[in-house]
Amino acid sequence: MTLLSILELDDTARVVWVDSYSTNVFWVDFEDAKGQRALVGIDLRKDSPTRNRLFEKAMHPNKPGAVFLELGCEK
């Protein structure tokens, strides 16, 4: 399965799964009507260098392919 950026999904996108690691890393799996998928997560680990950062394309910010999102950026 190829994961897209959340910005590439159309307006039919819906949440299909929410999960977390016991380390306070949470992610949400989105899918649109075309079957395209995106993962978006947040790192809430207390001592993490990426604490409170949003990321996509992975279930953990340390996984290969994880891309950090800049808040407030234009599409």
Tell me the whole-structure pTM to 2 decimals.
Answer: 0.86
Question: Using one digit for the tens of pLDDT, what is the confidence trace for 28-48?
Answer: 999 999 999 999 999 999 999
Match 């307006």 to its residue by tokens: 11
What pLDDT band is residue 73 in, cutting at 50, 70 and 90?
low
Q: Which residues of 14-46 are buried (b: 16+ CB within 10 A; e: fewer)?
A: eeeeeeeeeeebebbbbbbeeebbbbbbbbeee
What's the DSSP call for residue 2? Answer: P
